[in-house]
Structure 1
């Protein structure tokens, strides 16, 4: 059998082979992480930024002896989130806000204790590691970034603050109101160009399925942002925290009205602006205030 050449990878899974002396020099695993989740991601980023490389060897064989029972809590989400923020604060520089956006947590005063990261920052300084921007430019070039985001989180109307804008069923392309739960379908992102993106964001530049709020013949719709932009559709909105959401072209406002035909009793509409106001959970820049 012919062995293929090694392929460089931006990340690694939990099982890997590393020279023991190099592993010690690079800082081992981050002992400040708790329980489970994120160690491999942190190590992959650190190795690349600090002069090493992560490679997949097709002809290699690694034995992994798995525990009969994993000694973890049933719900690992809190630990994974905490560890992710720890990675962001040590290694991701100005891109750390992407991790907070992904978890829908405020960048400032998150209320989450990530532990002492001073030693890990000293390690980065001692190893003279590169900035995270270098990693995005040279190693993970496929990763999509969202530096234009200026606010994110749950989008609520003053008339019914227990309801949030929700992407609704994927097949409908019709945004809805639903009881607030803060999960992915209710993640809203407002950008410096005036776009309102709703739902999951594409992780790589090869995907063009981000959904944007668009005024389509006076009705609120969710269409792929790239498609709506190429077709010069009405996808730019004026939004101020605690103010209205108004389309820059049609001048209609996104508002809510009572409706007996939907589960929660209210639906989204575009209409002549009234006194209805909106708030979004997290602000990244005062431009939106």
Structure 2
């Protein structure tokens, strides 16, 4: 029911693809042409990150020629990489080729809904330092059915994996679901004033493949004078792929990119990324590349510190200020490690040390000891090692908040290389005949892998 101004800026749509199905590319292009006013759509830029599919050669060329013949006023620009450079670099290539007032950088496996562009352009017309995102609906790759998604902000954890979160409480108080909501980050698809995006450094071209560049952009925009919004009245349907075309284990690139973001933007909080990935603070062996240009960009833009971002933009992130140590927790006498055991389940076990996620432990200043990971957000509960004092001598692993409600003891005294003793029950965590128990202390020694602060 909303109406939008007629004198909106022009838009150029960038579609990035790698070995995409030809039919999907046709659907994307056709939906953009059919559902964007001709007075607004200046160009479509197709960036091919070195595809090898045969039908993306001559057949696709013929299709583009047909589109150009049918739409004489529309610019169709092709950018082909001679080698695979990754999604982040491909997005930069698309931005460089664009000439419209506003650039929309999209995946190629999308279809736009009616009136997708007008709400976004209206927001940018009102504030050129605003970067906006539509709401994504999901399209099943196996039957092309559209699954509606509700508007939500684009958030992330300390490993820089993306997720959806509710908007801030003030958005809901306005009781108008058509209003844009502030977002701490972006999921990757973005729409921005083309010149402004260039002024603030586009994306970090030093990143590999993709992942983390969207969080980096979010932090940079907010701390350097801009803002990010999700616009509910703009909708794009996104086809989830059955596989990722770039690499089978995407976490390798993601880990490197996350460390790069941390080094440039996160100040005293940069080691939280190491914590999230269970990497040592020093000598982690991952080359993040040269970040001097990005640090100089931050200085030139006179950006606010990351603490400001945490306080004002994303206060839901747990700052982890009181983490004392993390990594595998090894019993030196039994030569075995603490492990969360079967999931779902509430019984930790002793197991051969293997360094994987089930043995990631975190020791807090409070005496809480988490096993199997740590949550990044204040609204999440971690799983605490507990001693309920029962005679079965079996330790437990449960939601920390629930344990406190039930008056189950979750606080432990621990000194590196010495015993691990429950503060209330005075029983120690030990290993007897390869079984994890809590019992009268016999002096068994534990050692945690990475120490942040002496304790």
User: How does the TM-score come out when normalised to structure 2?
Assistant: 0.57
More moved, 56-65 vs 237-246: 56-65
Q: Answer yes or no: is the 8 Å Cα contact 1:92–1:132 preserved in 2.
A: yes
For the residue of structure 2 that corresponds to 1:84, the secondary structure is helix
1:185 aligns with 2:358: yes
SS at match of 2:437: strand
- Separation in 2 of the partners of 1:182 and 1:96? 22
User: Is 192-201 or 102-111 further displaced after alignment?
Assistant: 192-201
Residues 15 and 64, structure 1, Cα contact 8 Å, conserved in 2:
no
Question: What per-residue deviation string (whole Å, max 9, x for no partner) do you get for residues 140-168 of structure 1?
Answer: 1222232110100111111343x321112
Aligned to 2:292: 118
Selected match of 2:384 from 208, 212, 220? 212
1:214 Cα deviation after fit: 1.4
Partner of 2:229: 55
* Shift in CA distance, 66/204, structure 1 to aligned 2, threshold 3 Å: closer
Superposition deviation, residue 129 in structure 1: 0.9
Structure of greater relative contact order (alpha carbons < 8 Å, 6+ residues apart): 1
How do 1:239-278 and structure 2 match up within 5 A? 239-258=414-433, 266-278=434-446
Q: Distance in 2 between matches of 1:248 and 1:65?
A: 52
Pick aligned residue for 1:223 from 389, 394, 398: 398
- Structure 1's consecutive aligned runs of 4 or more residues displaced over 6 angstroms after TM superposition are 63-67
The Cα offsets for residues 37-92 of structure 1, whole Å up to 9 and x where unpaired, read as 2111111111111111111112235698999x966232222111011001111111
Contact 1:173 1:222 in 2 (8 A): yes
Q: Distance in 1 between matches of 2:403 and 2:238?
A: 48
Deviations 1:238-271 (A, max 9, x none): 212222111222222111011xxxxxxx111112
Report Cα offsets for 1:171-209 as digits up to 9, x if no partner: 43111122333333221101112111112323322223x
Which residue does the alignment assign to 1:176?
A: 349
Alignment of 1:91-102 (within 5 A): 91-102=265-276
User: Which of 77, 80, 93 is residue 254 of structure 2 equivalent to?
Assistant: 80
Give the Cα separation in 2 of the matches to 1:71 and 1:168.
Answer: 33
SS across alignment from 1:42 = helix
2:285 paired with 1:89? no
Bigger-Rg structure (1/2): 2
Q: Distance in 2 between matches of 1:227 and 1:58?
A: 36
Q: Provide the secondary structure at the position in 2 that maps to 1:151.
A: strand
Which of these residues, 193, 199, 217, is aligned with residue 43 of structure 1? 217
Distance 1:241 1:74 in 2: 38
| Separation (CA, whole Å) in 2 of partners of 1:131 and 1:183 | 33
Give the count of matched residue pairs: 278
Structure 1 counterpart of 2:368: 195
Any stretches of 5+ residues in structure 1 without a counterpart?
Answer: 259-265
The normalised TM-score by structure 1 is 0.88
CA contact 1:36–1:72 (8 Å) conserved in 2: no
CA distance in 1, matches of 2:428, 2:262: 37
- In structure 2, the partner of 1:148 is 322
Q: Distance in 2 between matches of 1:63 and 1:251?
A: 57
